[in-house]
Amino acid sequence: MSRTPNQDQQIVLINTFTVKSENADALLAVLAEATEKVMRHRPGFVSATFHLSLDRMHVANYARWRSRADFDATMSDPIAREHMGKAGKLAERFEPMLYTVAHDEQRAAS
Amino acid sequence: MSRTPNQDQQIVLINTFTVKSENADALLAVLAEATEKVMRHRPGFVSATFHLSLDRMHVANYARWRSRADFDATMSDPIAREHMGKAGKLAERFEPMLYTVAHDEQRAAS
């Protein structure tokens, strides 16, 4: 079984930002604005969920895109890059990683 | 606005495993088995989604729990710890992080 994604396979971006805790809210605001104004209008955007760690030193974006090609097209868009640059400046570092979903479990019926 | 979670707030675990690519499928199988046999039957488990990175060198678990207390109770359970130990042995390292959801966006209506 091959898990190499094809053009039709949904992908997941998990981008983990390390932040100074005092910058966490500003970073979340920039990410929300970028998504509201740019990302969600781009072809292939499915959803984005932004998370704040309990220690307020990490912010994680969990985003679904219809395909790798759609994600790559948005990432090479100058307007999207400008927004991501603003986010990057608020973080100490960030680690974007692209995934496919391998397995999914819901709560057992009770 | 405080984002400190209370006992009633849903939390998200994002656990990122770094693996040798030849161990990725085995790790995914151990995580799926642990979730199927143990986690999903525990109070407060909501969902778990397992991801394989496109480079096959990372596996990420994205899991929702009803509350921090439910998550902590499961993590201190010896049977759950045994399963997580098996997963840990297949990884080079793993970085669990607890979050709350700060913001959520869906695709714009077209």
Condensed to tens digits (0 to 9), the pLDDT of residues A45-102 reads 999 999 999 999 999 999 999 999 999 999 999 999 999 999 999 999 999 999 999 9
Task: Please compute, for residue A6, the number of CA atoms within 13 A of its CA located in the half-sphere on the CB side.
Answer: 2
Distance CA A105, CA B63 (A): 9
Distance CA A76, CA A20 (A): 28
- Which residues of B fall below an 8 Å CB-CB distance to A? 3-5, 11-12, 14, 16, 28, 31-32, 35-36, 39-41, 45-54, 56, 58-60, 62, 68, 97-108
What are φ and ψ of residue B20, in 5° steps?
A: -70, 135
What are φ and ψ of residue B50, in 5° steps?
A: -105, 135
Q: Can you give the pLDDT at residue B2? A: 42
* Number of other residues whose CB lies within 10 A of the CB of residue B51: 24
CA distance B22 to chain A (A): 13
Distance CA B55, CA B6 (A): 37
Nearest chain B residue to A17 by CA distance is B97
Distance CA B12, CA B56 (A): 23
Q: Do residues B52 and A99 touch, judged by C-beta distance below 8 A?
A: yes
Concatenate the DSSP letters of all residues of B37-97 into one string. Answer: HTGGGSTTEEEEEEEEETTSSEEEEEEEES-HHHHHHHHT-HHHHHHHHHHHHHSSEEEEE
Distance CA B71, CA B65 (A): 6
Can you say how many angstroms the Cα of residue B9 is from the centroid of all Cα atoms in its chain? 17
Distance CA B84, CA A93 (A): 28
Q: Can you give the pLDDT at residue B107? A: 83
Can you say how many angstroms the Cα of residue B58 is from the centroid of all Cα atoms in its chain? 13
Condensed to tens digits (0 to 9), the pLDDT of residues B84-104 reads 999 999 999 999 999 999 988
- For chains A and B, count residue pairs whose Cβ atoms are closer than 8 Å: 127
Condensed to tens digits (0 to 9), the pLDDT of residues B29-72 reads 999 999 999 999 999 999 999 999 999 999 999 999 999 999 99
Q: Do B99 and A60 touch (CB under 8 A)?
A: yes
Q: Evaluate if residue A41 carries a pLDDT over 50.
A: yes
